[in-house]
Amino acid sequence: MSSLEECLCSIFDDSGLTYALDKGDVGSDDDLAASLRRLDSITAAIDQRAPVEQLLDDPALRRAREEAAHTLRLLDESAG
């Protein structure tokens, strides 16, 4: 990935996740769905075109990393 914008596009747009979130069709795990929605909301507030130094200092990026880690834990748990 060459940029945050490209990374987020890959996760949310290219995968169809944004469409699924908008339709409310992200599976039966309510905690996972809520976490994905929070991650989407948090990342939407980040200025993806900001210089790297500014992005790294953005508290929203820290929150996005924390929520992404939480989402991955939920995915691992649901995979059993």
> For residue 53, how many C-alpha atoms fall within 13 Å in the half-sphere facing its CB?
0
Domain ranges of the chain: 4-79
CA dist 58 and 35 (Å) reads 20
List pLDDT tens digits, range 28-75: 678 888 998 899 899 999 998 889 899 999 999 999 999 999 988 988
- Please tell me the pTM assigned to this model: 0.75
